[in-house]
């Protein structure tokens, strides 16, 4: 018998976004961010010792980010056993639904348990997963998560924590998927283009502390409308920066879904949108409005299908299973 470790991590969606790095090699963000961790859009990672002395990968997409993470985990633990690693995303990958965040967080949790024998702090695991995807560190915590950019050279004060439990302001998330294929340009390359070419790159970062403070206060006050205003404006400002660099992630369905959310609000349905580095539109609302919102999105032009999710109250514990090698 040998041990297989299985870890799950969900995707997360930023309400106040990070869009730029202060240290490329360590993948440290220029600003703090504030997100919700989801419960249904998950990645599942398994790790097991290989019997043939080789590493084996069974993952969607290129293994480069995962390999970087593994290298950091090996250096930190001194455990260099050959491994068989699988990561499955249970939702469309690479389409701006934060599958790199959930897959890196799932792998980090699995390696923390397997190589670190469970003795590794979540901040150390975050240090590893950040090498694969910056925003993955937020997927290591449930609920409303605040990821502090910090200012130290080594990243030791760049840490994420749950700021509020999901119950502080229960929100459902309805995704209008307008394209389920990988995006044309990944976030790291797009951030670099923005840094070099977008006139409002600096202004976007300058507004970050005020947006963060206001978003946190809105959750504290249970004010969906205020949280919506801040998130939508923050998201649109990020996409303005992106467009200034000659990149436009929006498709026809993106514009249709944005207009639809605004129309729903006019009709008195409390909801707001946010969009990451991709064309898909995430609509947040109190859970009791989700069925109505989802139904009304199905016939929008350019919307392929919808997904339902909610803010996660807890994370699923890592499992150790006895299996035949
Ligand atoms: O962590 P990355 O490299 O996948 O970049 C995430 C960028 C956004 O999703 C657009 C914003 C964010 O804070 O999640």
pLDDT of residue 95: 58
Q: Residues 204-213: pLDDT tens digits?
A: 999 999 999 9
pLDDT of residue 94: 57
Q: Residues 92-138: pLDDT tens digits?
A: 775 567 788 999 999 999 999 999 877 899 999 999 999 989 999 99
pLDDT of residue 190: 96
Measured in Å, residue 276 CA sits from the centre of ligand 1 at: 7
Look at strands 305-310 and 172-177 and give their pairing.
antiparallel
Measured in Å, residue 4 CA sits from the centre of ligand 1 at: 30
**Residue 256 to residue 302: CA distance in whole angstroms:** 8
Using a 6 Å CB cutoff, which residues line ligand 1?
A: 14, 17-19, 33, 100-101, 133-135, 187-188, 276-277
**Residue by residue, what is the 3-state secondary structure of 105-152?**
HHHHHHHHHHCCCCCCCHHHHHHHHHCCCHHHHHHHCCCEEEECCCCC
In this prediction the pTM is: 0.96
pLDDT of residue 50: 96
Spans in the chain with pLDDT lower than 70: 94-96
Q: Could you tell me if 213 and 230 are in contact, meaning their C-beta atoms sit under 8 angstroms apart?
A: no
């Amino acid at each position: 018998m040998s041990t297989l470790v299985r870890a799950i991590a969900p995707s997360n969606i930023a309400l106040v976004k990070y869009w730029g790095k202060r240290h490329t090699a360590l993948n440290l963000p220029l600003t703090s961010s504030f997100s919700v961790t989801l419960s249904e859009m998950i990645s599942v990672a398994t790790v097991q010792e290989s019997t043939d002395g080789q590493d084996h990968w069974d993952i969607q997409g290129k293994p480069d980010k995962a390999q970087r993470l593994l290298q950091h985990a090996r250096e930190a633990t001194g455990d260099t056993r050959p491994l068989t690693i699988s990561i499955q995303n249970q939702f469309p990958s690479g389409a701006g639904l934060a599958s790199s965040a959930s897959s890196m967080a799932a792998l980090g949790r699995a390696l923390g348990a397997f190589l670190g024998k469970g003795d590794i702090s979540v901040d150390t695991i975050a240090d590893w997963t950040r090498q694969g995807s910056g925003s993955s560190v937020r997927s290591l915590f449930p609920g409303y998560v605040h990821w502090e950019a910090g200012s130290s050279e080594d990243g030791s004060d760049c840490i994420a924590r749950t700021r509020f439990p999901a119950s502080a302001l229960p929100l459902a998330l309805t995704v209008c998927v307008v394209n389920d294929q990988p995006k044309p340009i990944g976030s790291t390359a797009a951030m670099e283009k923005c840094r070099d070419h977008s006139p409002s790159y600096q202004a976007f970062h300058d507004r970050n502390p005020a947006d963060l403070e206001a978003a946190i206060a809105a959750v504290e006050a249970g004010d969906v409308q205020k949280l919506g205003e801040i998130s939508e404006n923050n998201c649109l400002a990020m996409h303005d920066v992106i467009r200034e660099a000659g990149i436009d992630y929006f498709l026809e369905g993106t514009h249709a879904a944005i207009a639809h959310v605004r129309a729903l609000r006019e009709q008195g349905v409390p909801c707001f949108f946010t969009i990451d580095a991709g064309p898909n539109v995430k609509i947040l609302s109190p859970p009791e409005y989700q069925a109505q919102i989802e139904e009304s999105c199905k016939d929008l032009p350019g919307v392929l299908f919808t997904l339902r999710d909610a803010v996660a109250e807890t994370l699923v514990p890592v499992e150790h299973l006895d299996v035949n090698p």
